[in-house]
Amino acid sequence: MDVTYVHLPQGRWWYTVAVMDYYSRYLLTCFLTPFQNATAVSQALELAVQESARLHGTLQHAPILMTDNGSCFLARKFQDILRHRFRHVHIQYRTPQQLGLLERFHGTSKKEEVYFRIYEHPNHARQCLQEFRQPYNQVRPHWALRPAENEDPWTPSEVYEQGRTIIIPQ
């Protein structure tokens, strides 16, 4: 789970909270919010849980949630929400590469969606970011998602929704 900035009309900066399944690279949610606080990241996490439940049913085990050390993730309110539902792992300070898949997603979303458009208003940006999830998850293959050496890569949807097994890089 990670947060990045998105510039909207009237010179305002909003935040995109992304939650991704690290094994499949499946983007569970890309939540646009005017605030970077515990409430906003909690809302994004709840949307991700709902998407996961829609595809796989209720979680049977507490998943691992990896975040950076931003104040929204350290807040008592967020920690209380996570308790008994997730195993929360913080990356080391000043090592964003430990959230490399999400950092890469932020770059991709900005290059292929955010910088490509001029959003009319926040709801327009929210709608476009949600629409971006479909090609990201279902159309765009990821080179790390391969069933075997020298085979074509799969999409996050093929791995996450269909339960396909991939080669884990060593």
User: What pLDDT, in 10s, does the model give residues 55-98?
Assistant: 999 988 999 999 999 999 999 999 999 998 999 999 999 999 99
- The values of phi and psi at residue 95, to 5°, are -135, 70
pLDDT tens string, the chain, 170 residues long: the values are 999 999 998 789 999 999 999 999 999 999 999 999 999 999 999 999 999 999 999 988 999 999 999 999 999 999 999 998 999 999 999 999 999 999 999 999 999 999 999 999 999 999 999 999 999 999 999 988 999 888 899 999 999 999 999 988 76
Please state, in angstroms and rounded to a whole number, the distance separating the CA atoms of residues 86 and 90: 12
Global pTM value: 0.93
The SS3 call for residue 142 is: coil
Report strand pairing: 2-8 vs 64-67.
unpaired
pLDDT (0 to 100) of residue 97: 94
Please state, in angstroms and rounded to a whole number, the distance separating the CA atoms of residues 87 and 28: 18
Residues 6+ apart with CB under 8 A from 68: 2, 90, 91, 96, 99
Domains of the chain, by residue range, sit at: 2-59+95-160
